Amino acid sequence: MNLDVSHQELIPHPVDKVWAALTDPASISDWLMATDDFRPKVGCRFRMKTQRLSTTGWVDAEVLELEPPHRMVWSWSANDGNSPSTVTFQLAAEEGGTRISLRQVGEIDPAIGGILREGWPGRVQALAELIGQGANQRSADNLSGA
């Protein structure tokens, strides 16, 4: 199946906060899939633990492009016998926050393609919520004098 998933959303947080959540392994583990070996560096190969996207339980990925704090491109392999797909994260400041544009393209198993098509909007929402929780925690810490 030829996969071409695009999703855009305005996240009510500044670009630097969104970028930080996109490039931190602990944050990626919270909003996307568990990883401990991601580094925001071109050529970094990393793995993400998945329950649904791979027969092996892992998605193998590599950072292909990095233009902080606006663009990051990953190679993404669900180990389904197809060539890796490409995931692009693009950030742009807008009134009210950051416009995140996400696109995933490539050949992929149709069942996995359906999961990705339906899943990315929820993952982007989880990213926004994670960033909001961090902002709320900092506000609470400031109020308590921590």
User: For 52-111, how does the pLDDT look when each residue is reduced to its tens digit (9 = 90+)?
Assistant: 665 668 899 999 999 999 999 999 987 767 789 999 999 999 999 999 999 999 988 777
Q: Among 40, 38, 90, which residue's Cα sits nearest to residue 59?
A: 38
124 — pLDDT class (breaks 50, 70, 90): very high
pTM of the model: 0.86
Query: Residue 120: how many CA atoms within 13 Å on its side-chain side?
Result: 21
Q: What pLDDT, on the 0 to 100 scale, is given for residue 53? A: 60
- Measured CA to CA, the distance from residue 120 to residue 65 in angstroms comes to 20
What are the sequence ranges of the domains in the chain? 2-144
3.40.109.10, 1.10.275.10, 3.30.420.40, 3.30.530.20: which CATH number matches 2-144? 3.30.530.20
- Measured CA to CA, the distance from residue 36 to residue 29 in angstroms comes to 8
Distances (CA, A) of 98 to 10, 16, 29, 82, 103: 6, 9, 21, 33, 16
* Greatest mean pLDDT range, 24-38, 74-88, 98-112, 121-135: 24-38
Per-state percent for the chain, helix, strand, coil, to nearest 5: 35, 35, 30
